[in-house]
Amino acid sequence: MKRIKKRRLIIFLFLLAIITCTLITVYFLFFAPMRIYGYNKTLDVGQYDNEPKIYEDENGKVIGIFPEILEYIAEKESWKINYVKGSWSKCLDRLEEGENDIMVDVAFSEERAEKYDFNNVEVFTNWGIIYVEVDSDIDGINDLDGKKIATMTGSIHTEGSGGIKNMSKNWGISPTFIEVEDYKDVFELIEDGEVDAGVVNRLFGLTHEDDYDVEKTTIIFNPMRLMFAFPKNQKLSKEIIPIIDDYLLELKEDRNSVYYQIIDKYVYKREFVLPTWIIPVIISTVALIIILTAMSYVLKRKVNKKTAELQKAHDNLEKKVEERSKELIIANIRLKELDRLKSMFLANMSHELRTPLTSIMGFTSWLLQGKEGDLNEEQHYQLDIVKKNAENLLELINNLLDISQIEAGKITLNIEEFNIVDVVNEVGLSLLPLAQEKDLELIYNTPKDIIMNSDRHRIRRILINLIGNAIKFTNSGKIRLDVKVLDEEKIKFIISDTGIGIKDEDINKLFKSFQQLESKSIKDHEGSGLGLYLCKQLVDLMNGTIAVKSKLGEGSEFSFIVPINLNEV
């Protein structure tokens, strides 16, 4: 009897083992996470040539920013990558048809989001830039009117809402566009003289500008977020996107991650260009550098100590930030990236443009004063042109910086007590030479002893812009400034002229940024389109209003009203 019970127990245990193994097998075949079985496959990835973002090296290996980031994720997830080569437009067609699983280096736009799915965390931000032939006379957007411009078919910088075609339409210019397959063809057409200009992205330009006989302009536009794109509404896309987003978030949070190593490798090391003036400056300041080096060593130790403390505090802060939602983290990263790019752009503009402009204006004034000898009439005329253009460019830079600070909410008003008569007299003295050159009469009607509590510098800036414009667009007659007190709380400034006037349909364009009116007489006095925009921003900042009335051929009247005492606003 005991032998029978023992045999039954053995049979029971054997059957239990078979059932357990069967259940485990069924689980792994049908219920195991897709991350193990669903992704253990080959992903077809679109490949085109756009160094340094994606390209082949001399051994035929696909490298670049996007491939190396994607392959890092693929290695962690045990994915296999198969690159499918083609032109940019062909790769996008394959993606739309579902023939490829992923396309790299795709700039996000609402139009494209209707065709493809995108991940949520951008790889980085890029923008378009105009290149021309060496020694070309194209240096501004208006110079592109009637010119031939090479662009890449399907590029966001060609067809997007912020692309060159739409930008040209908004500016009222009519260039001819020659579309090609890739950016290398754009540079080749410029070098061969078959087009006047070409559009490429910033990274391609930095990488290849020394390989072709081309020259970079200051025309930059259309900053875009570069992402991974996927076939629309595909199951595999919806499963892969969160994984890629998670990795990008994790990599971007760590300044020592492979992400920043790849960006440094392909972007920032290429972007540095040694200025032409650095060698003579170094030679002339060697002694000073030696002294500063000793001082910097001491300071460096202190900075390193503080940096370590800041890094520790930063790490603690990051741990707290990680506890917040993923949506907030993504938004925070985007804002930091945009702020960093804007700060970098403003710093470069301030340093690279204002410093040499100051030298140009200083040396020109020195020569005009006869410090290096007498000048003949032609020399004096040409140097005067240089000085005026330098002053105009410096004013443009200052306007851009002020506008950027206003739009970023970083500008503050310096409120002080002053007599408006003093400000009007200062403005009159500074603009009198311009009026005398055109034999114009300046008339100022200002009540005495009007004391304001406001930003003296901003009021003066607005008056100089408005009266300066009146002088610029008035060929004969007079310019008049009337100052009136309204209800003892507000003050009104009225600037009227006998100039060329403005069409009714153009009035609404006046206070928009980068807007210039279409008129032959106005084109003789082309500006940046920023002066009136800045005036409106400053008036708004002081809780005021600005208005204009004009009649074509008879003149214009600009007026603005601001509080007399900003401390009470």
Q: What is the pLDDT of residues 398-418, one digit of tens each?
A: 767 766 767 666 678 899 999
pLDDT by residue (tens digit) across 382-396? 877 787 777 667 776
- Judged by phi (left if over 0) then psi (alpha if -120 to 50, else beta), residue 442 lies in beta
pLDDT exceeds 70 at position 456? yes
Looking at 3.20.20.70, 3.40.190.290, 3.40.1080.10, 3.30.70.360, the CATH number of the domain 42-255 comes to 3.40.190.290
pLDDT by residue (tens digit) across 463-488? 999 999 999 999 999 999 999 999 88
> Which element (helix H / strand E) includes 114?
none
φ, ψ of residue 198 to 5 degrees: the values are: -150, 150
- Please compute Rg for the chain using Cα positions: 32
Those residues whose C-beta lies under 8 Å from the C-beta of residue 346, and which sit 6 or more positions away, are 401, 404
Separation CA 229–CA 45 (nearest Å): 10
- Helix, strand, coil share (%) of the chain residues, nearest 5: 55, 20, 25
Closest CA to 100 of 155, 37, 43: 43
The proportion of the chain whose per-residue pLDDT surpasses 90, expressed as a percent, equals 45
Using CA atoms, how far residue 494 sits from 38, 452, 531, in Å, is: 73, 17, 17
Domain ranges of the chain: 2-32, 42-255, 274-322, 324-411, 415-568
pLDDT exceeds 80 at position 291? yes
- The HSE-up count of residue 263 (CA atoms within 13 Å, CB side) is 13
- Judged by phi (left if over 0) then psi (alpha if -120 to 50, else beta), residue 437 lies in alpha
DSSP 141-210: GGGGTT-EEEEETT-HHHHSTTSHHHHHHHHT--PEEEEESSHHHHHHHHHTTSSSEEEEEHHHHHHHGG
Those residues whose C-beta lies under 8 Å from the C-beta of residue 380, and which sit 6 or more positions away, are 368
For position 245, what pLDDT does the model report?
A: 95
pLDDT exceeds 90 at position 303? no
Number of Cβ within a 10 Å radius of residue 37: 12
- Under 8 Å between Cβ of 496 and 556: yes
pLDDT by residue (tens digit) across 175-226? 999 999 999 999 999 999 999 999 999 888 888 898 999 999 989 888 888 9
**Structure confidence at residue 127 as a pLDDT band (50, 70, 90):** confident
**Structure confidence at residue 81 as a pLDDT band (50, 70, 90):** very high
Lowest mean pLDDT among 56-60, 230-234, 323-327, 381-385: 323-327
According to DSSP, the β-strands at 197-201 and 415-419 are unpaired
- Under 8 Å between Cβ of 190 and 61: no
Number of Cβ within a 10 Å radius of residue 405: 14
DSSP assigned state of 270 = H
Angle between helices 65-77 and 235-253 (to 10 degrees): 110
Instruction: Annotate 207-227 with b (16+ C-beta within 10 A) or e (fewer).
Output: bbbeebebeebebeebbbbbb
For position 162, what pLDDT does the model report?
A: 84
Separation CA 82–CA 408 (nearest Å): 44
For position 340, what pLDDT does the model report?
A: 65
Tell me, which fold does domain 415-568 have in CATH? Heat Shock Protein 90 (3.30.565)
pLDDT exceeds 90 at position 25? no
> Which element (helix H / strand E) includes 558?
strand 555-563
Those residues whose C-beta lies under 8 Å from the C-beta of residue 530, and which sit 6 or more positions away, are 396, 399, 400, 403, 513, 514
> Which element (helix H / strand E) includes 125?
strand 124-133
| CATH of segment(s) 324-411 | 1.10.287.130
Mean predicted confidence (pLDDT) in 89-112:
93
For position 286, what pLDDT does the model report?
A: 83
For position 352, what pLDDT does the model report?
A: 67
**Structure confidence at residue 34 as a pLDDT band (50, 70, 90):** very low
pLDDT exceeds 60 at position 37? no
For position 254, what pLDDT does the model report?
A: 92
Angle between helices 531-541 and 377-407 (to 10 degrees): 40
For position 124, what pLDDT does the model report?
A: 84
Mean predicted confidence (pLDDT) in 269-297:
71
Instruction: Decide whether 42-255 matches 415-568 in CATH topology.
Output: no
Asked if the peptide bond before residue 52 counts as cis, ω within 30 degrees of 0, the response is: yes
**Structure confidence at residue 24 as a pLDDT band (50, 70, 90):** low
pLDDT exceeds 50 at position 272? no
pLDDT by residue (tens digit) across 133-174? 999 999 888 899 999 999 999 888 888 788 899 989 988 899
Q: Which amino acid is at 494?
A: I
Q: Which residue has the higher pLDDT, 508 or 271?
A: 508
Separation CA 305–CA 309 (nearest Å): 6
φ, ψ of residue 149 to 5 degrees: the values are: -125, 125
pLDDT by residue (tens digit) across 45-79? 999 998 889 999 999 999 999 999 999 999 999 99
pLDDT exceeds 50 at position 338? yes
**Structure confidence at residue 544 as a pLDDT band (50, 70, 90):** very high
Mean pLDDT of the chain: 83
